Amino acid sequence: MTNTAVRGVRWAGRARGLAVRLWTVPVVVAVWEVAARAVESVYFPPPSAILARLRELWFSGPPARLFLSDAAIADFVPSLGHLFGGWALACLGGIALGVAIGRSRTLAGYVDPLIEFGRAIPPPTLIPLFIVLFKADTRMQLATIVYGVIWPVLVNSVDGARYVDRLHIETARVFGLSRAERLVMVILPAAAPKIFAGLRLSLSLALILMVVAELVGSATSGIGYELIYTQQNFDLPGMWGTIAVLGVLGFLLNSSFLVVERRTLSWHRRAGRKG
Amino acid sequence: MLDVVNLTHTYGSGPDAHRALGGIDLKVSEGELVCVVGPSGCGKSTLLRSIAGLVRPTGGEVRVKGRPVSGTPDDLAVVFQDYSRSLFPWLSVRDNVALPLRRRGLDRAARRAAAAEALAAVSLESAAAKYPWQLSGGMQQRVAIARALAYRPSLLLMDEPFGSVDAQTREDLEDLVLAVRGHHRMTIVLITHDIDESVYVGDRVVVLTRAPAVVAADLRVDLPGPRDQIATRELPAFVHLRAEVSRLVRGRPEFGPEEFNTVPPHTTTSPLVKTPSHLTKE
Amino acid sequence: MIVSKVVRGAVGVAVLLVVAEIAGRTGLMDTQIMPLASTVLAGAAGLAVDSEFLHDASATVEVWAEGLLVATLLAVPAGVLLGSLPKVEIGLRPLIEFLRPIPSIALIPLVTLIAAGDGAMKVTIVVYAACWPVLVNTMYGLHDVDPVARDTMRAFGFGRLAVLLRVALPSAAPFVLTGVRLAASVALVVAISAELLSGGAGGIGVYIIKAGSGYRIDLMLAATVWAGLIGLVVNALLVRAERGLFRWHAARAGVAQ
């Protein structure tokens, strides 16, 4: 077989695999379209109407800007800014604290109940407090996201750092690595698989808390604001569209993080498979 | 080179306390390869970990080059039994070997060169870019040995280094240790539960009693070199000495530390075994 | 060991409270904005006998429990079905992958318009949020069934259904309960969020909003303490249930306690 033929066969195989996995998506969308047109309910607009509204709302911009309209930029930039900003802060704080707690049984003893209690508080409960403390601005958004997403990072970092193989640590000590070197070259890599699990979980939580903070804090822009705005205008295609955008966003965040995780932890995945 | 003086160690306290070491005395001079054997669970590893500064013994003293050990000595490397846990899976073979050289104050290029040289010494040049878990068990242990070699310690401790590899690999690794030892002039303390191995590899075999362990016997191995896996093991002297060590290790269950204040007389009467005079307590 | 752990934990909590108290009393922290630790604790104690708050708390717990129950009743059979019919699962997976990350809170404005009544809206939202952990864990549990046990049953001539009932379900049960435990904390978060967003007749979230509009930060914090305690108790109960019911599971999986 020629090279191109091989490639063709491989592509066909991939396409078939994709078709097997994704065939339900067009089917469900089509059924929904037909049913919605038949029922003509205001509450359940057909997908075509949702897409048209979405396009008008956010994706009518010039191609150079990936079709994003001014409204889309005005909504996405602050929302995603808060999301990533809060997530990054929580990651830094959670990893630093978590590794410190994980490496010290004494420290862990003192703070364990505080962590247990802190993570049991539903984060949205604190939003009214943050509004009073910070007014309804960026700081309130960040505080909500940081408080909400720091726990998975913290708890997983503690776990990862606590159960580093004793032999790894002893090897590092025997060969005279300094404390800082042991932290960077041994403890952090060994804890990385756990830490990454926490980071991924907290990224999806960050999306949720971003929306909650925007909804409860009555933001004046952002994806959450758009939800309230469309609701108040009884713009149901707009609401459905916004929700769909959030779903796509969550899916994209999770899958792009998975790509990064796979690359960073390739040693872990492959070492695990072998034995 | 190494002085262990009346070393005792007890794990835990109260009724659950476990006395692992009951007063060990051991002297190893420069360039010697001493094998330490003993029944399993007798505290061999505790002895090694005390020498390495990983365990702070409850009594007695360890001196390396005359200096008492506190923390891990500068000039010492360890090869652990469990290579898969002592090599870092997130580092390539080359980086695993080069990692400890940071303490030697070498720059990156010099570390790489030293790692390459050490890998060549264990015939693993070609695996430098691989990850430990891509190699077989024996190869991984060779990486661990290369890491110790690259570090250029004056004292090398090996804790059951060949306990987790198959028989054929084991023989290869034993010969590798003999070869690099001749080349690098290191002092080696090798802990093993394998009596054959201790006699084959060692200049001396130190036999420990059951826990709380003390030195039961200290035998000099006078076998002609270079040693050979088949020829050496055929020698009557080898067979005899192996039987001797075997008897000492499992020998008489009533053997307690008290009976070992003196080295048993038959070790001195054996024509093949000369107990170093400084070790015989009269 | 255990005693020293408890002592250390108590010391940790005490130190935090004392530091907060001192910071407030010395003026380091503005008590107008951040009330004294003692004020908050006293407030929390007061809430325990405050009939208005108890009414709110029971409203929250009711929505939470109802939502969790419905979610479990829906998600467990769905998970069993998907977990034992791989073809169906492959087909539905992309839909699940897309629906799962949609923040259930984002559905509140929509469901408010559609659902009949405030209570129904809240329960619907809680159900939506709580379904996913239960569904995913149930599916995972069915995948995890020991093939040797499955083959043993097959070899004795049992049919698919018997294998499902006698092997697959019991071995998936611990995973299901883990899913329920995760769903329980998600459900509490969502229930309170729904109250914060849409108000309604009662609930901890409603109480906090009212306290906030009266600028009673101490009562907001006191109610938050109770929300945390409820979460803590629910989680502890479910963890205990998991350990008690499925000790064999922990033993097999080698889970460190």
Mean pLDDT calculated for residue range C85-100: 84
pLDDT at B72: 83
For all residues of chain B together, what is the average pLDDT?
A: 83
CA nearest A110: which of C231, C6, B249? C6
Q: Is A254 at the interface with chain C, CB within 8 A?
A: yes
Q: Is residue C3 part of a domain?
A: no
Residue C233 in domain:
yes
Predicted pLDDT of residue C149: 76
CA distance C239 to chain A (A): 13
Instruction: Choose from A20, A208, A240 for mutation: most chain C CBs within 10 A.
Output: A208
Residue A264 reports pLDDT greater than 80: yes
Within a domain: C211: yes
Cα C40 to Cα A143: distance, rounded to the nearest angstrom: 21
- pLDDT at residue C180, as a whole number: 93
Mean pLDDT for the stretch of residues C213-242: 89
- Please give, rounded to a whole number of angstroms, the shortest distance from the CA of A137 to a CA of chain B: 43
Three-state DSSP class for residue B37: strand
DSSP lists the bridge partners of residue B64 as B2, B67
Closest chain C residue to the Cα of A236, Cα to Cα: C110
* Residues facing B68 on adjacent strands: B63
Domain assignment present for residue C92? The answer is: yes
C and A adjacent (3 or more CB pairs under 8 angstroms) = yes
What is the structure's pLDDT at C138?
92
Maximum Cα interatomic distance, chain B, rounded to a whole number of Å: 58
Is residue C188 helix, strand or coil? helix
* Residue C247 CB-density burial (10 A; 0-12 exposed, 13-18 middle, 19+ buried): exposed
- In the predicted model, is pLDDT for residue A191 greater than 60? yes
Per-residue pLDDT averaged across C224-244, rounded? 88
CA distance C53 to chain A (A): 15
DSSP string for residues in C200-233: -S--HHHHHHHHHHTT-HHHHHHHHHHHHHHHHH
Q: If pLDDT is split at 50, 70 and 90, which confidence band does B262 have?
A: very low
Which chains contact C through at least 3 pairs of Cβ atoms less than 8 Å apart? A
- What is the predicted pLDDT for the residue at A273? 58
Beta bridge partners of B8: B22, B59
Residues B80, A192: C-beta atoms closer than 8 Å: no
Q: Are B101 and B109 in contact (CB under 8 A)?
A: no
Tokens 């509009």 locate to: C213
**Which pair of structure tokens corresponds to residue A189?**
């890599």
C2 vs A: CB within 8 A: no
Which residue of B78, B90, B131 is in closest CB contact with A174?
B78
Structural domain boundaries enclosing C94:
50-247
Asked whether the beta carbons of A119 and A157 are under 8 A apart, the reply is no
Write the residue in C90, C102, C108 that is nearest to A20 by C-beta. C90
3-class SS letters over chain A? CCHHHHHHHHHHHHHHHHHHHHCHHHHHHHHHHHHHHHHCCCCCCCHHHHHHHHHHHCCCCCHHHCCCCHHHHHHHHHHHHHHHHHHHHHHHHHHHHHHHHHHCHHHHHHHHHHHHHHHHCCHHHHHHHHHHHHCCCHHHHHHHHHHHHHHHHHHHHHHHHHCCCHHHHHHHHHCCCCHHHHHHHHHHHHHHHHHHHHHHHHHHHHHHHHHHHHHHCCCCCCHHHHHHHHHHCCCHHHHHHHHHHHHHHHHHHHHHHHHHHHHHCHHHHHHHHHC
Q: Which range among A217-221, B174-178, C238-242 shows the weakest confidence by mean pLDDT?
A: A217-221
Instruction: Dump strand ranges (E) for C24-114.
Output: none
Interface test with A, best of B88, B111, B154 (most A CBs within 10 A): B88
When pLDDT is cut at 50, 70 and 90, the band that residue A275 belongs to is very low
Q: Are B171 and B227 in contact (CB under 8 A)?
A: no
Structure tokens at B182: 């001749």
Quote the radius of gyration of chain B (alpha carbons, Å).
19
pLDDT value of position B265: 39
| Partners of residue C229 in chain A, C-beta under 8 Å | 117, 120
Contacts of B82 in chain A (CB under 8 A): 167
Q: What percent of chain B has pLDDT over 90?
A: 31
Give the residue from chain B lying closest to A272, CA to CA.
B133
Please identify among residues 58-97 of chain C the ones whose CB lies closer than 8 Å to any CB of chain A: 90-95, 97
Per CB-CB distance under 8 Å, the chain B contacts of A168 are 85-86, 88
Distance, in Å, from the CA atom of B217 to the CA atom of B69, rounded to the nearest integer, reads 25
What's the mean pLDDT in B30-43?
87
Mean pLDDT of chain C: 85
Give dist(CA A181, CA A85) in Å, integer: 29
Q: Is residue C78 in some structural domain?
A: yes
- Domain spans, chain B: 2-75+153-279
* pLDDT tens digits, B170-222: 898 899 888 888 777 889 999 998 899 999 999 999 999 887 888 888 989 88
Least confident range of B266-280, C66-80, C83-97, C219-233: B266-280
Judge whether residue C217 has pLDDT over 60: yes
Residue type, C27: G
User: ipTM of this model?
Assistant: 0.81
pLDDT band at B278 (very low <50, low <70, confident <90, very high): very low
What single letter denotes the amino acid at residue B130? K
pLDDT of B282 above 50:
no
The CATH number covering residue C153 comes to: 1.10.3720.10
d(CA A61, CA A66) in angstroms, rounded, equals 7
Indicate yes or no: CB of B77 within 8 angstroms of CB of A174. Answer: yes
Mean pLDDT across the stretch A257-262? 92
Pick the CATH number of A63-274 from 1.10.240.10, 3.30.70.20, 1.10.3720.10, 1.20.150.20: 1.10.3720.10
CB atoms C212 and A109 under 8 Å: no
pLDDT tens, residue by residue, C3-23: 677 888 888 888 888 988 888
Q: What is the mean pLDDT of residues C187-191?
A: 91
Contact across the interface for C103 and A20, Cβ inside 8 Å: no
Long-range contacts of B13-19 (CB under 8 A, 24+ apart): B18/B211, B19/B211, B19/B212
Cβ contact, residue pair A174, B133, below 8 Å: no
pLDDT over 90 percentage in chain C: 27
Chains A and B touch (3+ CB pairs under 8 A): yes
What is the spatial distance between Cα A212 and Cα C104, in angstroms, rounded to a whole number? 10
pLDDT of residue A95: 96
Per the CB < 8 Å rule, is C101 touching A133? no
Residues 172-231 of C with CB under 8 A from A: 185, 188-189, 192-193, 196-197, 204-205, 208-209, 211-212, 215, 217, 220-221, 223-224, 227-229, 231
- Percent of chain A at pLDDT exceeding 90: 44
Residues of chain A in contact with residue B78, where contact means CB-CB under 8 angstroms, are: 170-171, 174
All structural domains of chain A with their residue ranges? 3-40, 63-274
Query: How remote is the C-alpha of B41 from its chain's centroid?
Result: 16
Nearest to C19 by CA among A110, A109, A132: A110
Extract the tokens encoding A110: 């003192």
In angstroms, the CA B265 to CA B180 distance is: 35
In a domain, C13, yes or no: no
Q: Which of A74-83, A91-100, C111-120 has the highest mean pLDDT?
A: A91-100
Where does chain B have alpha helices with state H?
Answer: 44-51, 83-86, 93-98, 108-121, 137-150, 167-184, 195-201, 231-234, 236-250, 265-269
Q: What is the pLDDT of residues A8-21, one digit of tens each?
A: 777 777 777 777 77
Calpha distance C239→C131 (Å, rounded): 19
Token duo for residue C203: 């609930």
Q: For domain B2-75+153-279, give the CATH number.
A: 3.40.50.300
How far is residue C182 CA from its own chain's centroid? 5
For residue C140, pLDDT over 90 is answered with: no
